[in-house]
């Protein structure tokens, strides 16, 4: 079994901006900047044959690229926040990519996580607690002007996630191109 997900990579210049912002935020547990990504579909643990079918299905797709921008910060966890993230603005192109990938994975035999798609880049995690929550909510409000990009999403990747005590380590298993802007040959 391989724990997998589909993701958009974050370009180096955006990764650097995120790392600086992350350093300035009062985060008790920071995500390693090498692991910054935008999760598209979380697939969970896949047996080898299903992983191969997913790879074949993704390889057959021809999907357009689109612009992405990071704008501001947010918290996940409601009244008891547990993570802080940069908010991703990708518009209809990102929503369409998510939908097509989800469908392809289901048709290939995977059972992706069913959760509302909220594109983001996780910067840090923390145990829910009032003191941290108030500090982090203030940091999110102060970071409303944070912006990185735009950049062109030109590929997505099938990633493996290995859980360790200090956090997850991500390995790219395969990459799939997205078509460039402009007219495409038929």
* Three state DSSP letters for the chain: CEEEEEEEECCHHHHHHHHHHHHHCCCCEECCHHHCEEEEEEEEEECHHHHHHHHHHHHHCCCECEEEEEEEEEEECCCCCCEEEEEEECHHHHHHHHHHHHHHHHHCCCCCCCCCCCCEEEEEECCCCHHHHHHHHHHHHHHHHCEEEEEEECEEEEEEEEEECCEEEEEEEEEEECECCCCCCC
Q: Which pTM was predicted?
A: 0.89
- Domains of the chain, by residue range, sit at 2-158
* Percent share of the chain, pLDDT over 90: 67
pLDDT-derived band at 183 (thresholds 50, 70, 90) equals: low
CATH class label, 2-158: alpha beta
pLDDT-derived band at 112 (thresholds 50, 70, 90) equals: very high
pLDDT-derived band at 126 (thresholds 50, 70, 90) equals: confident
Q: What is the pLDDT of residues 152-167, one digit of tens each?
A: 999 999 999 998 877 7
């Amino acid at each position: 079994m391989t724990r997998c997900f589909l993701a958009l990579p974050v370009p180096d210049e955006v990764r650097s901006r995120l790392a600086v912002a992350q350093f300035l935020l009062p985060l008790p547990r920071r995500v390693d900047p090498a692991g910054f990504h935008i999760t598209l579909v979380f697939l969970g643990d896949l047996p080898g044959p299903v992983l191969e079918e997913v790879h074949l299905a993704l390889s057959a797709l021809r999907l357009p690229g689109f612009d992405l921008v990071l704008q501001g910060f947010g918290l996940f966890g409601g009244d008891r926040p547990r993570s802080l993230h940069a908010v991703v603005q990708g518009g209809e192109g990102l929503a369409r990519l998510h939908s097509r990938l989800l469908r392809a994975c289901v048709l290939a035999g995977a059972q992706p996580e069913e959760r509302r798609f909220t594109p983001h880049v996780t910067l840090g995690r923390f145990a829910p607690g009032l003191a941290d929550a108030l500090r982090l909510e203030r940091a999110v409000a102060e970071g409303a002007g944070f912006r990185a990009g735009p950049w062109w999403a030109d590929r997505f990747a099938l990633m493996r996630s290995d859980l360790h005590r200090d956090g997850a380590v991500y390995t790219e298993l395969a990459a799939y191109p997205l078509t460039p802007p402009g007219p495409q040959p038929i």
